[in-house]
Amino acid sequence: MRKGYQENFLTNFSLALPQPSLALEGDILQPPGLSHGQKVVPYIHFSLLMSISTKQAIYSAANVDNSAQQTISGGKGRKWFIDERVGRENQITNDAYTGTPWDRGHLTRRTAVTWGSYNTALEASNDSCAYTNASMQHKHFNEDEWRVPELAVAKFKLAKGNKLVVMTGPIFTTCDRYFTKGIGFTPVRIPSAFWKAITYVAINGDLVTSAYIFFQDTDTLKTTKAKQRIQLRHFRVTTTELQLWTGLVFDEQMFDSNPLKFYDGPETIRVSELKDLSTKTKALLAAGVATAQTIKAARHKMKLDSLYELVDELSWY
């Protein structure tokens, strides 16, 4: 049974799915195969929300249990399929990928949801190969830069109970490119970037969120060896940045649990209460409205070495 993403998956915490902003609401697909009003499409261990205009997922959110992982060997659980609940006309199908440099880039990675009993893991593996869970990723990006956060999730060691909530999706901008095969082929919009947010319960019981953005730009498409030298922490962003780039409204806990706190929103810090960002003080949790001047002041009050220590403390790649 496809229960989809579970909000209470993490011990002692309930993490809601992202909600579309007012600007996005009109672009949310009502899947014809789901009950009226049910727009989130459930799969095994993950759920996603579809865009009308791009025919790609706005986000895909997964429950990941690395302590119960199963290995699905050979060619099992790898057959791409059209989800009839969403409708063939509402998703990008194989025509856009066959004979092109564009990969069916998994949003929720296949191996991230292959946990539980073997049969459940096998079904989850198959579910992850729905075209709704794929987005236009250049083969160099899909097999290189994007592999870095995917492998980090697979090798994650800091979560209590080895459980993670992993949310991910494309970022579309006014500068997006379009792919076409010629006359009669409907152009496909190519994401300018992709984001991933990982939330987990640390060993000490605290909730922690790490968020990342990877741009699918000209430089990333030139190389196939970036994953050997880039460091994941250099792509880290605040939850506010994710909200601004995606138009999604994230659970407030994903702001307060993100250690990068230099932007307007629940995660900002009042400079008057700022003491030491490398320790967990009341100043870290203080919410306020920060102007450009206060953000600049906050940055000056923190030594660069202290910032590096803070980022390294919760970086896991």
Catalytically active residues, by annotation: 106
142 among annotated binding-site residues: yes
Q: How far apart are CA 181 and CA 187, in angstroms?
A: 8
Render 222-257 in DSSP notation, one character per residue.
H-S-GGGT--GGGGEE-HHHHHHHH-EE--THHHHT
Sign of CA dihedral 306, 214, 207, 205: negative
Rounded Cα distance, 168 and 178, in Å: 21
Q: Are strands 41-42 and 46-50 parallel, antiparallel or unpaired?
A: antiparallel
In 3D space, the residue among 94, 116, 114, 2 whose CA is nearest the CA of residue 48 turns out to be 2
Nearest CA-CA partner of 278 in 243, 241, 304, 239: 304
Known binding residues for Mg(2+) are: 142
Known binding residues are: 142
